[in-house]
Amino acid sequence: DTGVSQDPRHKITKRGQNVTFRCDPISEHNRLYWYRQTLGQGPEFLTYFQNEAQLEKSRLLSDRFSAERPKGSFSTLEIQRTEQGDSAMYLCASSLGSTSINEQFFGPGTRLTVL
Amino acid sequence: DQQVKQNSPSLSVQEGRISILNCDYTNSMFDYFLWYKKYPAEGPTFLISISSIKDKNEDGRFTVFLNKSAKHLSLHIVPSQPGDSAVYFCAASAMRGAQKLVFGQGTRLTINP
């Protein structure tokens, strides 16, 4: 399977705990995005990487959130001191980043439930 | 502010008929538009896209129309099939910079046999 993969698919945690999610993009894609989706809404942009550089962060990304993409391959998204409002589906997407094509391909998502 | 809007939360269509899903946007900087389909417990799947230099793009049963002056796009599915039942998201982006996608709220399409 050469699509975008995410791990874990589901995470249940208690409020105040730290969680980390992983995303493996399509191998030749140099752009990687994180989005968050809550019930009844479309995905909302969180942050994006061009290779290993994090070039943009949404104001939705509070200081409890940190994302990395070491070596420009897989990426991790960590949430510290989780709150109930962090419960959502966290989606990762990747793209070639061409100036003429912007199809982003999404992974299956990680569903986070904070109790 | 909701820059991309899908005003119909749900749509029900009979199998074999045409499904038309609508989307409006407000930001004139958007110049690339995409439709995604989403099944429960899965990530969005890319369906079809259109750049602002075109007003129509077709791929099999799916056609997207763009009306830039009205800031409106639509997705036509014909003929509709039961497997098309899913949530459809419209997304917009600017080709420069991050190319981040701004999504609408989604429309749940149900195809009735």
Nearest CA in chain B to A90: B43
Q: Which of B59, B30, B38, B16 is nearest to B107 (CA)?
A: B38
State pLDDT tens for residues B86-97: 999 999 998 777
pLDDT of amino acid A58: 92
Give mean pLDDT, residues A8-30.
96
pLDDT of amino acid A98: 65
The alpha helices in A1-115, defined as continuous H runs, are: none
Which has more confidence, B87 or A28?
B87
Does residue B2 register a pLDDT over 90? no
Contact flag B105-A99 (C-beta cutoff 8 Å): no
Query: Between A41, A45, A95, which is nearest B105 by CB?
Result: A41
Nearest CA in chain B to A94: B100
Does residue A110 register a pLDDT over 90? yes
Question: What is the pLDDT of chain B when averaged over all its residues?
Answer: 94
Pick among B53, B101, B105 to test the A interface (most A CBs inside 10 A)? B101
Contact flag A102-B89 (C-beta cutoff 8 Å): no
Backbone angles phi, psi at B84, to 5 degrees: -80, -10
Going by pLDDT thresholds of 50, 70 and 90, the confidence category of residue A103 is confident
Cα torsion B58, B8, B89, B101: sign: positive
State pLDDT tens for residues A32-44: 999 999 998 999 9
Contact flag B49-A102 (C-beta cutoff 8 Å): yes
Going by pLDDT thresholds of 50, 70 and 90, the confidence category of residue A101 is low
Q: Tokens for A44?
A: 């909302």
Does residue B37 register a pLDDT over 80? yes
% of chain A beyond a pLDDT of 70: 96
Contact A80, B26 (CB under 8 A): no
State pLDDT tens for residues B63-73: 999 999 999 99
- Measure the CA–CA gap between B68 and B28, rounded to whole angstroms: 9
Give mean pLDDT, residues A90-102.
81
- Measure the CA–CA gap between A101 and B31, rounded to whole angstroms: 11
Instruction: Give Cβ neighbours of residue B22 (< 8 Å, ≥ 6 apart).
Output: B6, B7, B8, B72, B73, B74, B107
